[in-house]
Amino acid sequence: MKNSPSSHEGRDLERDIIVKEKELEFFKRLLNDQMKELLNQAGSSVADMSEEINSYGDPLDRASIEIDRNFTLRIRDRESRLIKKIKNALERIENGTFWICERCGGEISIKRLKARPVATLCIECKTKEETLEKVIGTQILI
């Protein structure tokens, strides 16, 4: 990771901060866009739902609409969880902890954040967590 000679460290750190400020702007815009998109989707699915229910009288049709609605609600549940995560990530940007892993206090790499801007754990902690989940999952299955 850090292989640069100690004499350049000061300058690297400065450059690092400038790069990070630019990256933060990028992530902020990305997260805001994602949030807007999710809110738009959530808004339109609610509108679709009430329109459909009003325009069908047949009980059979109503049943299939009910299934659709449950499906829509499930998606919206997932959406609202994601919206919460995005809000959390935006807060982390604001208070300067966006790069900090919630578990070990280490740094989350830009590469990882680009793949998953709502990440709150560094790759090491995430890997550990996933391994643990797998172990626990296996135990439950047995």
Q: Which residues bind Zn ion (CB under 5 A)?
A: 101, 103-104, 106, 122, 125
Residue 125 and residue 108: Cα distance in Å, rounded?
A: 10
Q: Could you tell me which residues come within 8 angstroms of residue 20 by beta carbon, excluding any fewer than 6 positions away? A: 99
Nearer to Zn ion, 119 or 125 (CB): 125
Nearer to Zn ion, 72 or 120 (CB): 120
**Residues forming a β-bridge with 100:** 107
CB of 138 to Zn ion, least distance (A): 24
Q: What are phi and psi of 124, to 5 degrees?
A: -65, -50
CB of 105 to Zn ion, least distance (A): 7
Nearer to Zn ion, 14 or 133 (CB): 133
CB of 1 to Zn ion, least distance (A): 14
**Residues forming a β-bridge with 107:** 100
Look up residue 79 and give its two tokens: 């959406």
Nearer to Zn ion, 45 or 109 (CB): 109
CB of 126 to Zn ion, least distance (A): 8
| Angle at which helices 9-55 and 59-94 cross, to 10° | 160
Residue 108 and residue 110: Cα distance in Å, rounded?
A: 7
